[in-house]
Structure 1
Amino acid sequence: MHMDTHSADYRYGDLLAMTNHFRNEARNIILTGATGFLGSNFLFWKLRQPGKVYVLVRGESIAHARQRVYDALAVCAVGYNQPVPKADIDSKVDYILGDMTETLCAISKSDLEKLAAAGISEFWHCAASLKFEDRHKEEIYHHNINGTHNVMDLAHRIHCPTYLHISTAYTSGHMAGDIPETLHPLDISYNNFYESSKNAAEHEVVKYCDAQGIDYRILRPAIIMGPLASRRSGGTRFGVYGLTQEMYRLRDTLSQLKTPMRLIGDMAAVGNLVPVDQCVFDMLYLSNTGFGEHKVYHLSNSSDLNIKAMLEKIDVALGMKSLNFVSERDTPASAIEELFDKRTVFYGGYYRTIKRFARSLPAQTGVSWSDYGTYLTAFIKELDEEKSGETFTRTQVTAADGIELCVSTFGDSGKPALVLANAYGMPSDFMFPLAKRLADQFRVITWDSRWVPAITHEFDLAKCHSLTHASDLIAILDHFGIASAPVAGWSSGAQVSLRAMAEFPDRIQCGILLNGGVSIPASGDIKITEFEKNIRTLFPKIAANYRFAQKYCDLIYGAHATADDGEDRKMISAILTSTDPFLLYMTSVPFRTPEALFRYANMMNGLFNERGDAWTADVKQPVLVHVGGKDQVTHADVGRFLVEGLQNGKLSLDEDGDHFSHFYDEDVATMIKQFVAQHQPQAQVAQPSSLANP
């Protein structure tokens, strides 16, 4: 794998690079909490390395336990724009029925014998009760303290040499200032019983492991966010998400306040937000490098965003001005303030003290205000979708060469199908607004292109051409039993659509090309945008040498440029800034790690090196070519040339349209419906397709 030093790993937190770099490090481990947020994310990436993972999980049966774990991993997969690793789950996961609140976790004698003989080297205890109210004290104690004793007894019984205990950075309670990576006193004051139980459990870990000669590490995550890779929540409802959800639920009440609600906190308090993929990176890094000399590690980063500003941004994102952050209330709390205090008491520990968590591990990239805003926007959208029931349905489809594709559908399966061919490297979220507008007439189907954003697929340069993606489209039609369907391709997805129409004419009824980014070169008759000039200049360099991908990622994310880098920095900056700033969290996906950029550059370079007519001479179906007069990514001239090359092409020009009109403009959906209505035949029975040559 392309990775030179561990510090380079930490520069981008690239879990694919990490797991590939240590792919020969085979260890058998036990994991608790595999159905929880951090535990499932750890398992998702741990499965990319060799070795068995024995998951201790509650369940009525093995089948029930297996389904619980699979469901948790499916949620993880959505958070990373990845397929569920079915083959790895089947071959590497062994399910141990048990309950950590019982002696030796109540596992069977046969399972005890199996674990003792399995050569397990690490016991990862991620499970815990996240409840915090005093009325749940008994349950919290049973899980976080008794449960810790029970799993350590199990580790000792099966002769596991290393015990890894997941705690929380907030075992520090009301402590302020610099928080060291050491045990905290037990007699400090706390915000809730959860914090005190986790601190007590840490002391029990040290006492027990020292007495039994077990090597141990205590890992303390800060405020865990969803994956930085996607800025989605990843399914968690704790931390910032829990507070945002409470405000979302109370939105109607809060919006009626005559004066802002006073929330008591320290004006200078900061929150240390750590994405879950950074936590997992830390965990795997420690496992693969021998855990280091320290016994306690903070899984934190350098974000430290001001809590007052964080809360205000939640307020604004929900369309309100309901909060006033104060150091104290000058009059008694109102009824609504008392209600809000009770509903959000768990989060008081975040905004009532100033903490700076020491970190001995290499530095992680901090969460920026821009990242935070994107997280909030994505989460509120997620809550809206849950409330309305409107969201993509995810399915996995096996391509002709065995690759698992992440496919998203929206709409009634009884309606005619319409396929959206997304741009290379872009997440399916880009297609969701258009899919919603089309769903009154179609069952809309789209998919994430292999390699990027689905980076867990092994990259195959020999298949880096549009026929691979066109064949994936046909495999998707076959999976759903669809004889033929219209296709609408956006940006580089237009080339995929043209290739599918050319190679599989019986399967594609008609095509709509939206702001097509295709293989037609610039000429005296065809202008191209500065954006396209830049990627045609830079991407061949990046595609030819992985080190260039590292270099350009460094230029994007703040490394100091040399005198020779000036033009390159300008070009890479122009590529990113040519996109809609609101959509940058999606358009930047292929630029987030050197591996993603290397793949994306090869995909786009392969596209530009295909036939100069973009396969139009072989397309007989009716095709509508839509271009925007204000498109800064693909020039309208490219669309005009496409129409000239097509046997049955028609041009649609929106003088005010840009490259992202399909995301915002309802008229684009109307145009697609009208064109398809003119050219859609009756449904037929699907016939298997033979693959053409590249």
Structure 2
Amino acid sequence: MLSDEARRAVTDVARAMLSVRPLAQARGAVSRLPTGLEPGESAACAEAVLTAVAAELEVPGLEFGPRGDGAEQSVFELVMAEHLDLAARLVVLGPLTAGDLAAAVAEARKVAAKVAAESFGRHRRPTDAVSADGARLQVYEAGEPGRPAVVLASACGMPAELCEPWIELLARDHHVLTWESRGLFGAVTQFDTLGHDTAVQAADVFAVMDHCGVERAHVMGFCGGSVIALAAAAARPERVTSLSLWHGAYELGGDCPKADHHRNMQALMEMAAGDRDTAAGVQSVFVQTMLAGLPPGTAHLVLYPYATPELFYRYCRVNGPITDIDVRGMLAGVRQPVLVVTSEDDSTADPAGSRWVADRLPGAELRVEPHGDHMSLFTMSGAVGALAVDFLARVESPLQAAG
């Protein structure tokens, strides 16, 4: 049997494993993760427990060893190992022996099954939405249907779990929907026949709403999702009640400067979207330089679209049109109330772009926080959660009064 302390450790490991599952599935390769335990019977027992937990959670390709086999770890393995933090969590399994193993494995699997039932995956709709061109979209839903609806247009290519703090916050009083980018999640057998431009991705907003029985909604755009939110509001204003645009990365022609990060990503994606061979070369070089700049706590999610050359190619094909489209032509058609949020020190999406957009949206108000960027946004650091809740309360009040 597992001690209470060991059960808590297995619970923590199971939660971390579930969070790395999208990356492990996308890689389709073995990921060797050291436990940090001294070789011997106890280490072998701990590895058996970990293997059982991974099997229960359907996380593929994870192999565990006491200290690693001496082989150099990839960026992906390093990031997964850091997130699982096995050396710190598994010390309490040190006393396990072969005689304890069968009972420990059985109990660990029960713990993992409970974690899975309570995990972010519980928000996944059992069926996919299907967009106008046949693209299948994995949809996530939380909160009570019938309450004011909020649709989250997240950063392109990122697992929906990256939005979990926002979903948990907003679902207290709202019906919250989000989806994962077309062609990058689930079984996709005909990617090259799907549309990739901003217009079809804006149409995905309404495919998700239709799938969940939502007629009108507030749309929140995060990072590149701000462009999709703008395009959706301009295309179907009768279905978008209001907008909030968070650390948007906008192409504004010569009217406004761009951060070096934005400019570099545009150049990278244009190159990699040309063909799969080029994408493979760019991906191989790019991932080797990423480790130092990855955000702690969410690196295993942010890495997802870089997991393989094919996935990276698809990411560049889908994300490139969002980063490249000139949004100036959309702004006149967006007359809904809009909250535009940026910060003084965002170095990934130039704050000047958000200021420029807010100045030209008739119903916009601008909030400039002292600190933040498109990654701190997903950890909801600072006052961003309160900003969102306050804005939603203000724009919903007239609607409720009218109703």
TM-score bracket relative to the smaller structure: 0.7 to 0.9
Distance 2:252 2:193 in 1: 21
Q: TM-score, normalised on structure 2?
A: 0.73
Could you list the runs of 5+ residues in structure 2 that have no partner in the other structure? Answer: 1-17, 70-80
- Does 2:377 match 1:662? yes
Q: 1:420 Cα shift?
A: 0.5
Q: 1:338 Cα shift?
A: 10
Could you list the runs of 5+ residues in structure 1 that have no partner in the other structure? Answer: 1-75, 82-225, 232-239, 244-261, 282-299, 326-335, 348-379, 559-572, 686-694
Q: How does 1:262-281 map to 2 (within 5 A)?
A: 265=41
Specify the code of the residue in structure 1 equivalent to 2:218.
P
Q: Deviation string for 1:341-368 (max 9, x for gaps)?
A: 5623789xxxxxxxxxxxxxxxxxxxxx
Distance 1:404 1:446 in 2: 13
Check 1:684–1:393 CA distance in 2 against 1; reply closer, same or farther (3 A cut).
farther
Check 1:477–1:683 CA distance in 2 against 1; reply closer, same or farther (3 A cut).
farther
Structure 2 counterpart of 1:640: 355
Distance 1:316 1:322 in 2: 9
Specify the code of the residue in structure 2 equivalent to 1:306.
P
Structure 1 counterpart of 2:392: 676
Structure 2 counterpart of 1:343: 103
Q: 1:480 Cα shift?
A: 2.6
The correspondence for 2:256, drawn from 508, 526, 531, is 526
- Does 2:66 match 1:306? yes
**Please, what is the CA RMSD of the aligned residues?**
4.4
Specify the code of the residue in structure 2 equivalent to 1:452.
L
Distance 1:533 1:323 in 2: 48
Structure 1 counterpart of 2:198: 466
- Does 2:140 match 1:408? yes
Q: 1:577 Cα shift?
A: 4.8
SS in 1 for 2:297: helix
8 Å CA contact retained: 2:160, 2:180: yes
The correspondence for 2:92, drawn from 302, 322, 342, is 322
Q: Deviation string for 1:470-516 (max 9, x for gaps)?
A: 11111222233322110101111101100010010000000001111
Q: How does 1:364-379 map to 2 (within 5 A)?
A: none
Structure 1 counterpart of 2:324: 609
Structure 1 counterpart of 2:285: 555
8 Å CA contact retained: 1:455, 1:596: no
Q: 1:228 Cα shift?
A: 5.2
Distance 1:389 1:463 in 2: 29
The correspondence for 1:475, drawn from 190, 201, 207, is 207
- Does 2:364 match 1:649? yes
Q: 1:409 Cα shift?
A: 0.4
Check 1:632–1:454 CA distance in 2 against 1; reply closer, same or farther (3 A cut).
farther
- Does 2:154 match 1:394? no
SS in 2 for 1:544: coil
- Does 2:276 match 1:546? yes
Q: TM-score, normalised on structure 1?
A: 0.45
- Does 2:285 match 1:487? no
SS in 2 for 1:486: strand
Structure 1 counterpart of 2:149: 417
Distance 1:545 1:308 in 2: 36
Specify the code of the residue in structure 1 equivalent to 2:66.
N
Check 1:472–1:557 CA distance in 2 against 1; reply closer, same or farther (3 A cut).
closer
Distance 2:40 2:293 in 1: 42
8 Å CA contact retained: 1:661, 1:668: no
Specify the code of the residue in structure 1 equivalent to 2:25.
P
SS in 1 for 2:213: coil
Q: 1:615 Cα shift?
A: 1.7
State how many pairs are aligned. Answer: 356
Distance 1:530 1:510 in 2: 30
The correspondence for 2:234, drawn from 489, 502, 508, is 502
Distance 1:79 1:494 in 2: 27
8 Å CA contact retained: 1:263, 1:324: no
Q: Deviation string for 1:357-380 (max 9, x for gaps)?
A: xxxxxxxxxxxxxxxxxxxxxxx9
SS in 2 for 1:322: helix
Check 1:384–1:394 CA distance in 2 against 1; reply closer, same or farther (3 A cut).
same
Q: 1:304 Cα shift?
A: 6.3
Distance 1:634 1:544 in 2: 24
Structure 1 counterpart of 2:7: none
Distance 1:381 1:430 in 2: 21
Check 1:557–1:502 CA distance in 2 against 1; reply closer, same or farther (3 A cut).
closer
Q: 1:229 Cα shift?
A: 3.9
8 Å CA contact retained: 2:135, 2:183: no
Specify the code of the residue in structure 2 equivalent to 1:671.
L
Specify the code of the residue in structure 2 equivalent to 1:500.
A
More helix by share: 2
Q: Deviation string for 1:52-99 (max 9, x for gaps)?
A: xxxxxxxxxxxxxxxxxxxxxxxx9x9659xxxxxxxxxxxxxxxxxx
SS in 2 for 1:409: strand
Distance 1:389 1:598 in 2: 27
Q: Computing the radius of gyration over CA atoms, which structure comes out larger, 1 or 2? A: 1
- Does 2:181 match 1:440? no
Q: Deviation string for 1:636-680 (max 9, x for gaps)?
A: 111111112211111111112222233222632321121122223
Specify the code of the residue in structure 2 equivalent to 1:508.
V
SS in 2 for 1:463: coil
Q: 1:557 Cα shift?
A: 5.3
Q: Deviation string for 1:182-230 (max 9, x for gaps)?
A: xxxxxxxxxxxxxxxxxxxxxxxxxxxxxxxxxxxxxxxxxxxx63549
Q: Deviation string for 1:262-283 (max 9, x for gaps)?
A: 996277999699999xx999xx
Distance 2:372 2:337 in 1: 23
Q: 1:599 Cα shift?
A: 1.8
8 Å CA contact retained: 1:578, 1:632: no
8 Å CA contact retained: 2:149, 2:214: yes
8 Å CA contact retained: 1:489, 1:495: yes
Distance 1:388 1:436 in 2: 12
Structure 2 counterpart of 1:452: 184
8 Å CA contact retained: 2:41, 2:98: no
8 Å CA contact retained: 2:134, 2:194: no
8 Å CA contact retained: 1:79, 1:230: no
Check 1:645–1:630 CA distance in 2 against 1; reply closer, same or farther (3 A cut).
same
Distance 1:621 1:339 in 2: 66
Distance 1:462 1:655 in 2: 40
Distance 2:392 2:28 in 1: 33
Residue identity over aligned pairs, in percent, reads: 24
